[in-house]
Amino acid sequence: MKSQKWLSINFFTFFFTWGVFMPYWTGYLTNAKGLSVTSASIIMGAGMLARAFSTFALFPRATSKYSMQKVLRLLALLSFAALVLYIPFNSFYSLLTITVLFSLIYPNLLPAMESSASILMQKDKVHYGKSRSFGSVGFMVALLFIGGVTAIWDEQAILWTMLAALAIIMLTYSRPMPASLSEIPLRTTKENSVKWKELFTSKQFIIILTLTVLIQGSHASYNNYGFIYLQDIGVNSLYIGIILNVAVIFEIVFFLIADKLFSSKKVSWMFLLAGIGATIRWIGIYLFPSVWMFILTQALHSVSFGVAHYAFIQYISRTLDKRLIPAAQGIYAALSMSLSSAVLTLAGGYLYDIEPKLAFLGMAFCTVPAIILIVLSRKKFSY
């Protein structure tokens, strides 16, 4: 199978599972397992912290010892095994333990897929945006699919869908993978330590990482409170899923054209665009609390999330040595996608209790400093 096709298929299958787990797992715990919202939130919060630790520390360590092929296969197998444990257990503490275990394994498939993409960009010259758009399609299909199956059966269907999707991932990973992913990485502890030192002593990398933490983290209120915000402003629940999918559609379109429009652009320019787009998005929702403004700002998801993500991928593929890419992806996933989201979710929840639209305005207090940092650093550090 050609590298481009392999990457597209596996982005689709992984993000299908991501579209099941991220939006619906709290609902599975409350409805299928009978937990209170508070108990489910504690479990999901613990899982998020486990995810941050795992992607930051365990994933780079695994990729320093094994080829990306072996890492992908092990992660798929262990994720499926951990998920099976949800079937017989129902108590709070057992579900807490299972969720922490699952979160130590499954989310590492995200940096593993992104690392694979970066390697294939370097070695096989694949088009990242073209394949990544299939991931967005997978996420959107999952949102629609779960909405349908839970309407026909109940929330228990969430678990069975997730199990079936992970089984399909295991099957696809059992087939031949691109040869570029079979190379054995550096193995010694000394060499592994050097990789971390190279990244964290690079002022340019620290700036890039800070930008991703600020811009990607600013999506915390949207990801966690977008659904209830639409309910609060009077949107019928039947239409909320469709409205939330508008952002995914624009994300798909962006990744389809990203390589053509942005592959030659400077990384700093892309981050500046993402920071401005995110700031307009959050301030717009605050100033005009209506469903139409919310729908209009959904189009900016392709800028606030899509361009920022694409900028980071371009940075590591253009700048970093191949041996540093998995460590950089692990750090990115841990800090920008997990830890910053956890912290800003708490901040957004506090603001939401005061006034729902304040939760979105608060996110602009992350994006404005990001814009300032870009303006001050782009010439000095040439990124």
Provide the pLDDT confidence category of residue 358 given band limits of 50, 70 and 90: very high
Average pLDDT over residues 291-297: 94
71-97: pLDDT as tens digits: 999 999 999 999 999 999 999 999 999
pLDDT for 338 equals: 77
Our CA dihedral for 209, 212, 215, 219, rounded to 10 degrees, sits at -130
pLDDT for 78 equals: 96
Tokens of 176: 């031949």
Does the pLDDT of residue 301 top 70, yes or no? yes
Classify the phi-psi angles of 355: left when phi > 0, otherwise alpha if psi is within -120 to 50, otherwise beta: beta
CB 367 within 8 A of CB 282: yes
Provide the pLDDT confidence category of residue 188 given band limits of 50, 70 and 90: very low
Amino acid at 57: A
Does the pLDDT of residue 151 top 50, yes or no? yes
Amino acid at 340: S
Does the pLDDT of residue 283 top 90, yes or no? yes
Does the pLDDT of residue 374 top 70, yes or no? yes
Does the pLDDT of residue 330 top 80, yes or no? no
Provide the pLDDT confidence category of residue 194 given band limits of 50, 70 and 90: low
CB 166 within 8 A of CB 83: yes
pLDDT for 38 equals: 67
160-184: pLDDT as tens digits: 999 999 999 999 998 888 888 887 6
* Arithmetic mean of pLDDT over the chain: 86
Does the pLDDT of residue 54 top 50, yes or no? yes
CB 186 within 8 A of CB 327: no
Enumerate the H helices of the chain as residue ranges.
3-27, 37-53, 59-65, 68-84, 92-105, 109-123, 128-152, 156-174, 189-200, 203-217, 220-232, 237-262, 267-287, 291-298, 301, 308-319, 325-334, 340-354, 358-381
Q: Would you call 230 helix, strand, or coil by DSSP?
A: helix
Q: Please provide the DSSP assignment of 36-90 as one string.
A: -HHHHHHHHHHHHHHHHHIIIIIHHHHHHHS-HHHHHHHHHHHHHHHHHTTTT--
216-251: pLDDT as tens digits: 999 988 877 776 688 788 877 567 777 878 998 898
